[in-house]
Amino acid sequence: MTSIPHPDIDPGKIIAVHLNYRSRAEQRGRTPALPSYFIKPSTSVSRTGTPLERPLGTELLAFEGEVALIIGRTTRRVSPEEGWAAVSGITAANDFGLYDLRVPDKGSNLRSKGGDGFTPLGPHVIPAAEVDPARLRVRTWVNGTLAQEDTTGELLFPFGQLIADLSQLITLEKGDIILTGTPAGSSVVVPGDTVEVEVDAPHSPGAPRTGRLVTPITEGTVPFGAFGAGPQVDDTQRAEAWGSAEAAGLAADEPFLTAERIARINSVGTATLSAQLRKRGLNNVSIDGLTPTRPTERLVGRARTLRYIANREDLFREHGGGYNAQKRAFDSLTPGDVLVIEARGDRTTGTLGDILALRARVRGAVGLITDGGVRDLALVAAMDIPTYHGGGHPAVLGRRHVPWEVDTTITCGGAAVQPGDIIVGDADGLLVIPEHLVDELVADSIIQEDEETFIAEQVAAGHGVDGLYPMNASWREAYTTWKETRG
């Protein structure tokens, strides 16, 4: 191991990646298609053992343990395959952030991430030539308790890709630092806490390690001046800083589809809901032409969307491989979701198969809908997750489709679907219901089905339907009496 004296770590610039670990993306509920970045000033660098002051009047100082890449030579316009060769060494980093200043920063991260001492680095450098960049490990401890642990095998964007992307427009110079993202587990620390970060390569010869980068947290004594934007904190920032609403001590928002609301939706048929939608001028809200794998099961869930575009070879090479939109969609599903896939009605290839269906079920999704084909259809049909599809097909996705984007407005089976719409399905078919209409729609559907129960009884007793269906004034009076007798 090489010790870190100045000027071995004396960066001209520090470039940090926003989201780059699958675990962090899942925790945040969003997975980027491509990397994005921000700049930290070189004055934010500190060394192991240097105390970090939490500014007076703030509450949300959060740690982020990271792998830091040290650029070893001038680098411009390299390919992803060439990117790693530009790295001379790696070290541990802590990308501290002050969430109290995120709103005033308006996305720049300049003050929230760039304060003096907000980028501890060290204490040792591991030569890049000694390690596999895909088999590094980063760990963070708070007061001796492990808070973060992940490996670079779980990166969304490998190191070489980051360097290639940045070097398209920015000349990377010897000594520059790239902070490569943090895994799940980042949270808030307070004065009196001590944060430690270590990067190691347990599978490389000699298992090299950086040693622990130690940062004690202290309380600031100087308030912010009135001449600049001061701290602004709300529950959204608290939940983001702590990692979740629960960790921040906030009451978690109750999901819209509560057990009670689902039970009320399930008390009425899709045909009745369709009639009530029509009364509100919504005629084009059925997803048509699909076959359910479990026709006797009712489906109620919240729409998540995935869009495929028609295959074009160059676009598939760019968007079809790696952690593409299809994989991101399935990995980001949460309990109660229904994934709705736009495949343009093209049934001549698969749009999902048994592995992805299993992933959806494990993530807690309650249904899958695609207007394209399904591979491994017998296996998918055997799973306890209702899947509506355009038919079975053995071909892979790339025969006809490019996975393009997640959680945008799509068209599936002739119906427009937006993320957050409520999907209801049974043997009659599938409906797309805007969330804000659900409660009144169900209430009116319950009344309609009650009336239809009365009408059916009268028809069964031999009465004709003229004046009964729909009810005229005389039959309406009889219905009111019937309801009263039933309590």
- Contact at 8 Å (CB) between 370 and 388? yes
Residue 354 marked as a ligand binder: yes
| DSSP 8-state assignment for residue 218 | E
Residue 372 marked as a ligand binder: no
How does pLDDT run across 277-325, given as a tens digit for each residue? 999 999 999 999 999 999 999 999 999 999 999 999 999 988 888 778 9
Whose structure tokens read 């009451």? Answer: 251
Task: Kindly report the backbone phi and psi dihedral angles of residue 471, in degrees, each rounded to the nearest multiple of 5, phi listed first.
Answer: -75, 135
Strand residues in 117-237 grouped as ranges (E) = 119-127, 137-142, 145-151, 177-179, 188-189, 194-200, 213-219
Which residues, 6+ apart, have CB-to-CB distance to 205 below 8 Å? 130
Percent of the residues in the chain that have a pLDDT greater than 70, as a whole number = 98
Alpha-carbon distance values, 219 to 57, 188, 222, 487 (Å): 9, 14, 10, 67
Whose structure tokens read 């999902």? Answer: 352
- Each of the 487 residues of the chain gets a pLDDT tens digit; together they read 333 434 457 899 999 999 999 899 888 877 888 999 999 999 999 999 999 999 999 999 999 999 999 999 999 999 999 999 999 999 999 999 999 999 888 778 999 999 999 999 999 999 999 999 999 999 999 999 999 999 999 999 999 999 999 999 999 999 999 999 999 999 999 999 999 999 999 999 999 999 999 999 999 999 999 999 899 998 888 989 998 888 888 866 678 999 999 999 999 999 999 999 999 999 999 999 999 999 999 999 999 999 999 999 999 988 888 778 999 899 889 999 999 999 999 999 999 999 999 999 999 999 999 999 999 999 999 999 999 999 999 999 999 999 999 999 999 999 999 999 999 999 899 999 999 999 999 999 999 999 999 999 999 999 999 999 889 999 999 998 998 888 6
For 7-31, give one letter per residue: b (16+ CB within 10 A) or e: ebbebebbbbbebbbbebbbbbeeb
Residue 371 marked as a ligand binder: no
- Tell me which fold the domain 284-433 belongs to: Glucose Oxidase; domain 1 (3.50.30)
Quote the pLDDT of residue 483: 87
SS3 190: coil
Quote the pLDDT of residue 8: 58
Alpha-carbon distance values, 254 to 16, 112, 399 (Å): 35, 31, 42
- The CATH superfamily holding the domain 2-242 is Fumarylacetoacetase-like, C-terminal domain (3.90.850.10)
Strand arrangement of the beta sheet that strand 137-142 belongs to? 52-54, 213-219, 194-200, 137-142, 145-151
Residue 353 marked as a ligand binder: yes
Quote the pLDDT of residue 487: 67
- Give the Cα separation of 356 and 336 in Å (integer): 16
Which residues, 6+ apart, have CB-to-CB distance to 454 below 8 Å? 479, 482, 483
367-370/337-342 β-pairing:
parallel
- Give the Cα separation of 440 and 264 in Å (integer): 11
- Give the Cα separation of 411 and 422 in Å (integer): 15
Residue 376 marked as a ligand binder: yes
- Nearest alpha carbon to residue 125 among 90, 176, 93: 90
What are the residue ranges spanned by the domains of the chain?
Answer: 2-242, 284-433, 442-486
At CA 452, angle to CA 450 and CA 457, rounded to 5?
100
